[in-house]
Amino acid sequence: MRVRFIKYEGLGNDFIIVNNMDGMAALEPPQIAFLCNRHFGVGADGLIFIRPPQEKDADFFMEYYNSDGTAAEMCGNGIRCFSRFLWDEKLSDKSRLKIETRAGLKVVDMLVDGEKVTGASVDMGEPVLVPSVIPANYEGENVINKPIVIDGAQINATFVSMGNPHCVIFVDDLKTAPVQTLGPKIETSQYFPQKTNVEFVEVLGRNQISIRVWERGCGETLACGTGACAALVASSLNNKTDRSAVVNLLGGRLVIRWEDDNHVTMAGAANRVFTGSIELQ
């Protein structure tokens, strides 16, 4: 089977996007993992299928997979790239799109400069703080600056879901943060039955933070849109920032706002990298 794709990136968070409106690209998890492998395949942080929506109010369905082939609910950088793909490939000429995801319906406004689309602003929905809904194994109504124990050491953490689970840790120095060692331990800890993304956050001011992300099913990535949203929500809840901030990631910047209606909006770039096709066994 030959798979045709276009690769996009949002702040260095890169994705293989496949137009699967006809349903012909039926890939198994090992095939998805092969495509995302940077040594033997195309190389990407995730793979996205464009599918027809099931919800009548939606324009398209975004079917997202992590680089290890596991399905995930949502991807913030991915949905911006997904929307840019639709515009570039003339699958839609709408400046506002309603995208169905496994985490519900998301509204995307294209960022247009003249006739050129440079990125998108996404209504990421409302953050979820209830542990049983995130899901997380923790007693109480929320986990805001509360202790978790990893390898016998106590760490204060904040749990947030942005359609997928996040564990936010505040650090004094992001450069020396134990992302590669502590990240995978928290990801697979007993607190998160479906694993979790982990954000390490350094606060630079009331309206600016920097983060590094250990992404569930991927490892450390250059950027994570839902992670940036979760980090801003956690920073505001802990009174470290206001409800709007620039979030610096390894791959660039996102502007995140926790609006008065409780919705979180994310604005940032999305870029086409290259097109191609690959033969799968």
Catalytic positions, please? 75, 224
Residue 208 class from Cβ within 10 Å (0-12 exposed, 13-18 middle, 19+ buried)? middle
Beta strands per DSSP E along the chain: 2-10, 13-19, 46-51, 60-66, 96-101, 104-113, 116-123, 146-150, 153-161, 165-170, 197-205, 208-215, 219-221, 244-249, 252-258, 264-269, 271-279
| Contact present, 72 and 226 (Cβ < 8 Å) | no
As a whole number of angstroms, the distance between CA 231 and CA 247 comes to 8
| Contact present, 266 and 255 (Cβ < 8 Å) | yes
Tokens found for residue 132? 């049983």
Quick one: CA torsion of 109, 209, 67, 42, rounded to 10 degrees? Answer: 80
Tokens found for residue 89? 């490939």
As a whole number of angstroms, the distance between CA 277 and CA 231 comes to 36
Question: Which stretches of the chain are DSSP H helices?
Answer: 29-36, 76-88, 179-187, 225-237
∠ at Cα 64 (61, 67), nearest 5°?
165
